[in-house]
Structure 1
Amino acid sequence: MTLEASPRDLPESSVPAESPGDSPQAVDTPLTRAAVFLVLTISDADGSIAIVRDVLGGIDDLVKTVNFRDMRASLVCVASIGVRVWDAVTGLPRPAELHEFQPVVGAVHTAPATAGDLLFHVRADSADLCFEFERLLLAGLGEAVEVVDETIGFRYFDARDLLGFVDGTANPVGRALPAATMVGDEDPLHAGGSYVVAQKYVHDMTAWQALTTEQQQAVMGRTKVDNVELADAESGQKSHKTLNTIQDEQGEHGILRDNMPFGSAAAGEFGTYFLGYTRRLWVIERMLQRMFIGDPPGLHDRLLDVSTPKTGNVFFAPSAETLASLGD
């Protein structure tokens, strides 16, 4: 899903400060050619939490170990933790907005909640580095975890989704990027962290291709070939772009989308893995409400008629320092 929303370029005083105590993980890494989205649950067996803490604390070292094989591939991994295990894994108070994914039930479509305690977002410009990192990561975690979902993403042409549209156009840049994604002094204990929403969407390509290009563009709110933004509908059915633009008296609220296409032509599976990083979890939750329930209610996002969510999770990616401290 594109989940478009224009960034709000906050005043300088509102942009989270970058200090040694709150530096983020590699959330702002540019789009890569390959990615792995790995969702795990933690076993209830004795010792599982200790193993997970040790592995999380060593993520940076593991990245360096694998990345050394091809420094040009720019391997990174962002590790995030769900609310069910937050207390046990971190020993810290919970981030202010962290909670389980709340299902969104519309008249026609539903965004489901699914299991997941840990999310590893692995990215590189070389698929073999993603594979090797995941192999060593799972070997280290062993029987302390169970794999809930593994999705292998790839870059499709000029950053398009499998529906043929450019994805992530409205991602924030410059100073708007940390302002949109990085928790600041509103929750000082968790400054430098980011809320993460993950959803795996599967597309009905037959239904989508039955639409004309003009109909597809009306659904998305952008032209297909040259990615030009179309005017918002003044009333009635709104486009995907418009429904995912969150605006209030403070302006427009942006998020960072690290979406990736995935699929298998042989299996007839075509999809988009939506991954949204945000400073304010409520912004993405508002987007989902508008998509599935509609604005006004009853006029849901028509993209959902061909794109079905199979998973739904909320995580928090703590700062790099907090993550490293878990192995102490």
Structure 2
Amino acid sequence: MSRRTPIEAQKVDAPLTCSATFLVLTINDTVEASRTVRSTLAGISSLAKNVSIRDLNASFACTVGIGRSAWDRVIRLPHPSELHPFREVKGAKHTAISTPGDLLFHIRSERQDLNFEFERQLLDKLGDAVKVVDETTGFRYFDVRDLLGFVDGTANPVGPSVPESVLVAQEDEASAGGSYIVVQKYLHDLKAWRSLTTEKQEAIIGRTKIDNMELEDAAADAQKAHKTLATIEDGDGNEHEILRDNMPFGSPGKGEFGTYFIGYTRRLWVLEKMLERMFVGVPEGLYDRILDYSTPVTGCTFFAPSATVLAGLGDD
């Protein structure tokens, strides 16, 4: 009797680090480009080891996400059941836009030089098979705060809840061990945000600013806080968590301040419902007021297949 090869997930639940690079690429539409990408992805574990060995205490990790178009053109395996391009969400005032992206590399560690070296070696291997469409370097800001001054990621699952919330299981056996990813790059209007009183900022976020205490929910028909709109329940009242690994980024000299949102989930519909609640509003029109100060300039959806699937991509 043959044994099924054990499925090894990518390190989607790697610990929060001091530094991260978010690299989004498109793949050129040639046979040679597809071959180069497949062989590079198959060897991603070896490439990561080659860099991480330089400092085993730096918590280096790289997660690879693949978009729907690239999945069909390059991967040539049955696509995950929920995978599709990022769907624009248009509210009365704000829009979650959709932008190009075939590959995502979420590179993180305690040392930016390791992230830099991994990215350099990765792009050397990919060569002219790809085009960089976005490269964002994030950093930890004080006690895991965003540039708006609030603690970010408080609602993340912990312990045994992480794989339950993040990794696809028996509901899509061919994609088991993988995770859906949504990324958005938000730019903040810090001047306008800082013009608000602390109390108004806290009402928008739904938590206190200094000690991160959760505030009471608003009435059912009233304006809801960000933390309430980002809480997703199914028809039976079960709450579904996602794993956020957001990072602040910016350049004071350029007047650029932002948050790179990245969410991992077992069920893509959870993240899509979250965006609908934020941008359209609940009830409709009462959108997330944080969007008056934070504007998304990118929007992509990917699937991070298991490490086992990635390693097999070199077997043409």
Provide TM-score, normalisation by structure 2.
0.97
Aligned to 2:16: 31
Residue 278 of structure 2 corresponds to residue 291 of structure 1: yes
Relative to structure 1, is the Cα distance of residues 143 and 126 closer, same or farther in structure 2, using a 3 angstrom cutoff?
Answer: same
Aligned to 1:53: 38
Structure 2 counterpart of 1:136, from 121, 140, 144: 121
Aligned to 2:49: 64
Residue 169 of structure 2 corresponds to residue 191 of structure 1: no
Aligned-residue offset at 1:255: 0.2
The within-5 A match list for 1:304-319 is 304-319=291-306
Relative to structure 1, is the Cα distance of residues 60 and 71 closer, same or farther in structure 2, using a 3 angstrom cutoff?
Answer: same
Three-state SS of the structure 2 residue aligned to 1:95 is coil
> For the residues of structure 1 that align with 2:7 and 2:231, how far apart are their CA atoms?
28
Residue 174 of structure 2 corresponds to residue 182 of structure 1: no
Aligned to 1:243: 229
* Aligned partners of 2:242 and 2:264 also within 8 Å: yes
> For the residues of structure 2 that align with 1:153 and 1:211, how far apart are their CA atoms?
26
* Aligned partners of 2:15 and 2:59 also within 8 Å: no
AA paired with 2:261?
F
AA paired with 2:270?
V
The within-5 A match list for 1:149-168 is 149-168=134-153
1:268-324 CA-to-partner distances (Å, cap 9, x unmatched) read: 000000000000000000000000000000000000000000000000000010011
Structure 1 runs of 4+ aligned residues shifted over 3 Å read none
* Aligned partners of 1:76 and 1:124 also within 8 Å: yes
Aligned-residue offset at 1:250: 4.8
Relative to structure 1, is the Cα distance of residues 233 and 60 closer, same or farther in structure 2, using a 3 angstrom cutoff?
Answer: same
RMSD: 1.0
AA paired with 2:73?
A
Aligned-residue offset at 1:20: 5.5
Aligned-residue offset at 1:71: 1.2
Aligned to 1:108: 93
Mean CA deviation greater in 246-255 or 179-188 = 246-255
* Aligned partners of 1:198 and 1:275 also within 8 Å: yes
Unaligned runs of 5+ in 1: 1-18
Aligned-residue offset at 1:21: 2.9
* Aligned partners of 1:153 and 1:260 also within 8 Å: yes
1:158-193 CA-to-partner distances (Å, cap 9, x unmatched) read: 000000000000100111100100000000000000
Provide TM-score, normalisation by structure 1.
0.93
Three-state SS of the structure 2 residue aligned to 1:96 is coil
Aligned positions, number: 310
> For the residues of structure 2 that align with 1:165 and 1:20, how far apart are their CA atoms?
44
Aligned to 1:320: 307
Aligned to 2:249: 262
Aligned-residue offset at 1:95: 0.4
* Aligned partners of 1:34 and 1:125 also within 8 Å: yes
AA paired with 1:40?
L
* Aligned partners of 2:240 and 2:270 also within 8 Å: yes
> For the residues of structure 2 that align with 1:298 and 1:236, how far apart are their CA atoms?
11
Aligned-residue offset at 1:87: 2.1
Aligned-residue offset at 1:98: 0.2
Unaligned runs of 5+ in 2: none
AA paired with 2:256?
E
* Aligned partners of 1:22 and 1:193 also within 8 Å: no
Structure 1 counterpart of 2:70, from 68, 85, 94: 85
AA paired with 1:128?
D
Residue 87 of structure 2 corresponds to residue 121 of structure 1: no
Structure 1 counterpart of 2:194, from 176, 195, 209: 209
* Aligned partners of 1:217 and 1:224 also within 8 Å: yes
* Aligned partners of 2:24 and 2:135 also within 8 Å: yes
